[in-house]
Chain A
Amino acid sequence: MNAPEREIRQAIDDPRLQLAIYTATGRLIDHRAGVVSAEALPHYQALRNEANAIKKHTIENLDYYLEQLESNIVAHGGKVVYCRDGEEAADFVLDLAKKRDLHMLVKSKSMTSEEIHFNERLERHRLEAVETDLGEYILQLAHQRPYHIVAPALHLTRYDVADVFTKELGLENEVVIEKQTKIARGVLRQKFLQAGIGVSGANFLVADSGAIVVVENEGNARLSTSAPKIHIAIAGIEKVIPRAQDLAVFLNLLGRSATGQPLTVYTSFLSGPRRDTEIDGPDEFYLLLLDNGRTKLLADPEKRQSLYCIRCGACLNHCPVYRKIGGHNYPWVYSGPIGAIITPQFHGITGDTWLPFASSLCGACAEVCPVKIEIPKLLLKLREEVAQVKRNEGSDGMGRFAFQLFAWVATHPKIYLLLASFGSIFFPFVPHVGPLKKWASQRSVPEPAKQSFHQYWASRGGPAKRRGNDGA
């Protein structure tokens, strides 16, 4: 898949969109900075190290913890359903809805469900799936996919929302954000009270407790998991952590990294259906454990750390590329640096895989990652793999020839010096023709020095006159 150059150009040339992305990610950056500073959270780096160690241990023993999770969920009266892909997950839900004669379900935000096109699959069989997170609800009405892992409607203004509500809900043009929120609350409240099934994602699966943890700010995940008689959670197999106490590490990092909140408004720790003594809560609880390519990714010891991701979105906010091209120019639901490393791994690498190259390797993503995924290192590894594929395909003839030519020139000093002396004569023309034209159109081109380094070195008398003790 080639980079969507025209769409990227459009995003960059759209001043309203650029402002929206820059302001929103900028706010998220500031909020995070305020709560992970040395004053606010002295043990922040220690937490990151612990989080990385726990994830590493869990991923390297994933089968063990999944079986532990499963037996504890069953002990609490829940059921675990392993799903190889999105179709199996959707089929389970469709089948259950059919058996219980239910036609509508409410859903809280879940990137995993986006990943498998869950809603579309259900709606093909006339099972209505209603998104209840405000941002996701707007996007569902607008028929768009999330722009950002944490702030899905980041690219829309109140005026865009007003247009969507007018068109889809038949309401008068309402541009006041508080009122727009009230409208959504009113519509969705009825859905919560009517729905027979609530579907949620899960931020963590707790093996020693047989529990799932869901964090959110609006209350829609609490409603989705508490009001309907059936609760179905969908999560990737990599979401498991060993012990409830590990939440002291992960909850202290997740909200801070995502939105700058020490804790999100609601953190739900849920295990199985309601107990006999409890008044409310679901009668049935199912956890759908999704593979969908994750086991393939696990096989590479170096790249499997991509599975540590807790989906906080901090790497998106801090990425100079994401902040220019926005979320929709990434080919899959996961955008930004984390999307750039997991998309090629899930979808396979071909000669025109472009995502690993859409990075300046500045390292900001790795610096803010709460679980310390070495994103730039993985990007380089993936670039290497793309190059390997190209070599195998024989599709990189020109590139390979150019480097072979350079290697030959560089190892023959006389020819190198001769060509270098031409450099200052021809260089001014180079940016206007050939492959450098595109590069130079965005940048001021440096002027070649009047004297080459070789000439300067010779004028100093060469190595014999070296002074100082560096390298002595």
Chain B
Amino acid sequence: MTAREQILGEIRRALGRAASQPPLFRELPAPTLRIPRLDRNLRTDLFVQKFETLGGKAFRVRDASAVLPVIAELLEEKSAVASNSPFLRKCGVTGLPQVHAGFTERAELKQACADADVGITSVDYALAETGTFVMLSSHNEARLVSLLPPAHIAIFPRSLILANLDELLSILPRPADQTSSMVLITGPSRTADIEQILVRGVHGPGEIYAVIVEAE
């Protein structure tokens, strides 16, 4: 008997169920999704407040053309890798001389991210209540850009800010249909493993920045 047959068989014996018997009560009620009503301004305010409480730094800019000066000032002489998000191109970020972009090959991207000081991405959504970035892995957004460099900058329009996790799950009830990886990023990488003392930047970025574009 295979391990699979044995384990499923023992589960059924333990539960007194026959193979292929449907669940006892099919209609497990849908989980309650609690979504507060917040208008766009409140969402942005709340996101900024929560994000900065976690140790992030947020910038609010008027429109896409106002992004570049902020990024230039944040980067100074530092090297950066940018994701393939069209929004970054629209903001002109990929045109900066120290920004490497356009990676489509895994090994090259990995090496570039390991060498870079800063990773620049957009986001798929942001969550106001927790100050969270939501990133779905895709051709536009690789996993490692927001992970390997010691600093992460996310640039996104404020229309992507949702109220909370519950709203995200109401919009994306099955994230796996779209991507192999959806990650929620809530603050800089941190640990409290030694004496419960908070240290930022363990394996992921210790510095994170949000640049929120008010007009689309």
The answer, among A67, A181, A299, for a CB contact under 8 Å with B8, is A67
Any chain A CB within 8 A of the CB of B87?
A: no
CA distance A285 to B188 in the complex (A): 27
**Binary flags per residue of A240-283, CB closer than 8 Å to B gives 1, else 0:** 00111111110110000001011111111111111101111100
Is the CB of A339 closer than 8 A to any CB of chain B?
Answer: no
Give the docked Cα–Cα distance between A268 and B185 (Å): 9
Q: Is the CB of A63 within 8 A of B11?
A: yes
- A280 pairs with B110, CB closer than 8 A: yes
Q: How large is the interface on A (under 10, 10 to 19, 20 to 34, 35 or more residues)?
A: 35 or more
Does B207 interact with chain A (Cβ within 8 Å)? no
B residues in contact with A285, CB < 8 Å: 180
Known: A54-B28, A278-B138, A280-B137. A134 touches B6 (CB 8 A): no
- Closest Cβ of chain A to B125, distance in Å, is 13
- Once bound together, how far apart are the Cα atoms of A63 and B8, in whole Å? 6
Contacts of B129 in A (CB 8 A): 262
Known contacts A72-B176, A210-B176, A248-B31; is-contact A298 B11 (Cβ 8 Å): yes
In the complex, number of A-B residue pairs with CB atoms less than 8 Å apart: 275
Tell yes or no: B3 within 8 A of A by CB.
yes
Q: Is B165's CB under 8 angstroms from A278's CB?
A: no
> B165 and A244: CB pair below 8 A?
no
Return chain A residues, CB-CB under 8 Å to B197: 177
Which residue among A24, A209, A222 has the maximum number of chain B CB atoms within 10 Å of its CB? A222
Q: Are A281 and B166 in contact (CB under 8 A)?
A: no
1/0 contact string of B166-204 vs chain A (CB within 8 Å): 100110111111011111111111111111110101111
Q: A181-B202, A244-B173 are in contact. Are A153 and B144 (CB under 8 A)?
A: no
* Cβ-defined contact, B114 with A193, below 8 A: yes
**Pick from A222, A248, A263, A274: contact of B169, CB under 8 Å:** A248
From A81-89, A346-354, A410-418, the one touching the partner chain is A81-89
Contact indicator B11/A237 (Cβ below 8 Å): yes
Tell me the smallest distance from the CB of A51 to a CB of chain B, in Å: 9
Distance of A180 from chain B, by nearest CB (Å): 6
Establish whether residues A219 and B176, one from each chain, have CB atoms under 8 Å apart when the complex forms.
no
Contact in complex: B11, A295 (CB < 8 Å): yes
Whether, in the assembled complex, B78 has its beta carbon less than 8 Å from a beta carbon of chain A, the answer is no
Within 8 A of B (CB), among A288-315: 289, 291, 295-296, 298-299, 304
* Minimum CB–CB distance for B148 against chain A, Å: 8
Interface residues on B, range: 35 or more
The chain B residue with its CB closest to the CB of A285 is B180
| Residue from B21, B114, B130, B139 in contact with A277 in the complex, judged by beta carbons closer than 8 Å | B139
Instruction: Check A270–B180 contact: CB distance below 8 A.
Output: yes
When chains A and B are docked, how far (Å) is the Cα of A291 from the Cα of B177? 28
Cβ of B25: which chain A residues have Cβ within 8 Å of it? Answer: 57
Binary CB contact string for chain B from 139 to 153 against chain A (1 if under 8 A, 0 otherwise):
100111001100000
**Which of B3, B130, B143 sits near A263, CB closer than 8 Å?**
B130
B33 in the interface (beta carbon within 8 A): yes
A144 on the B face (CB < 8 A): no
Per the bound structure, the CA–CA distance linking A23 and B191 in Å amounts to 17
A39 at the binding interface (Cβ < 8 Å) = no
Whether B215 is near chain A, meaning CB under 8 Å from some CB there, is no
Name which of B12-20, B67-75, B89-97, B155-163 contacts chain A: B12-20
Closest 10 CB pairs of A and B: A219-B204, A135-B193, A271-B176, A219-B203, A295-B10, A61-B23, A299-B14, A298-B14, A209-B176, A218-B202
Interface residues in chain A, defined as those with a beta carbon under 8 Å from any beta carbon in chain B: 20, 23-24, 27-28, 43, 46, 50, 53-54, 57, 60-67, 72, 76, 81-84, 88, 132-135, 138, 151-154, 156-158, 161, 177-178, 180-181, 184-185, 188-189, 192-193, 206, 208-211, 217-220, 222-223, 225-227, 237, 242-249, 251-252, 259, 261-275, 277-281, 285, 289, 291, 295-296, 298-299, 304
Given contacts A271-B179, A279-B84, A304-B14, 7 further A-B contacts (CB under 8 A): A64-B21, A88-B3, A134-B193, A135-B194, A245-B31, A295-B7, A296-B14
